[in-house]
Every structure is written in C-alpha cells, then in structure tokens.
Amino acid sequence: MNLKKSLKSIKRKMYGKEKVFITIRTVYTHLSDLSNKEILDYYNVYSLSELEQHIEHIKMVLRDKVENYKEELKELDSCFCMDSRGDFKYLYPSKQEAERQIKFSWETKRVKLKLYPCPFHCGWHLAKV
C-alpha cells in the first residue's frame, strides 16, 4: 500500500518536472523539438532546480522590461494602438483636439467620427462611426 502511495508521489513529481519543460517548449517554439536534456544544455544548466531558477530569473527580467516599457510609453506620450489596417492610430493627447478633428472631418469630408479613450491611457483615439 505504501508502494502505491510512493508511486503516486513519484508520478506527481515527474509531472511537475515535465511541466517546466512543456512550458518551455510551448513558449519558446524554437525549442519545441528539443528533449529535456537538450533543453538543460541549451540553458547551460545541469539540473531541474537550476533550470527553474533560471526561468524565475527570466520572468523577473521580463517583468522589469514591461515596467520600463510602461515608463517609455509615458515619456513618449504615445501608444501602440493600431487600426484595422495595422497602422498606428493617431493619438490625441487632449479631448478638445480630438473633438476639433471630429468636427473638421464632418465639415470637410462628411465622415462621422467618434472618440474613445486609449486603452493605455495615453489620450484619445478616433474611430469611424
């Protein structure tokens, strides 16, 4: 009966180990064909715990990057919103400016636009109604 129990825990442990490799193969498609051993070699680590530490490190670096990226966005006063054609959308820092453009488009081109807040909170965008 103890054997059954320990087998279960070994299985669970193995699954836990596999999980890291599965995650890596899924996230990094260029590693998807590698065996567990090759993945360890790739990261230049010798054990699973080293690999896990390495992954934690990567996660931390990525988090920092995202933070820096947010700062950059603030500095640029810009965003990466795109329109349906994949072009960057024009950003209006002030609502009045956006409203002026709506008026202008209607008066000159009979194009009806509406404004909406940028999801990154950088300003306002216009969309066709």
- Choose the binding region for Zn ion from 6-14, 31-39, 58-66, 117-125 (rule: CB under 5 A): 117-125
- What CA–CA distance (Å, rounded) separates 90 from 124? 9
The residue behind tokens 């993945």 is 39
CA 128 to chain centre: 28
Rounded to the nearest whole angstrom, what is the least distance from the CB of residue 118 to Zn ion in the complex?
A: 3
- 79 forms part of the interface with Zn ion (CB under 5 A): yes
Size of the site for Zn ion (CB under 5 A): 3
- 34 forms part of the interface with Zn ion (CB under 5 A): no
Rounded to the nearest whole angstrom, what is the least distance from the CB of residue 121 to Zn ion in the complex?
A: 8
Rounded to the nearest whole angstrom, what is the least distance from the CB of residue 91 to Zn ion in the complex?
A: 6
Long-range contacts of 50-56 (CB under 8 A, 24+ apart): 51/20, 52/20, 55/20, 55/23, 55/24
Binding residue for Zn ion (CB under 5 A) from 20, 34, 48, 81?
A: 81
Rounded to the nearest whole angstrom, what is the least distance from the CB of residue 78 to Zn ion in the complex?
A: 8
The Cβ-side half-sphere exposure at 13, using a 13 Å CA radius, reads 8
- 118 forms part of the interface with Zn ion (CB under 5 A): yes
Say if CB 58 and CB 27 are below 8 A apart: no
Residues contributing to the site for Zn ion (CB under 5 A): 79, 81, 118
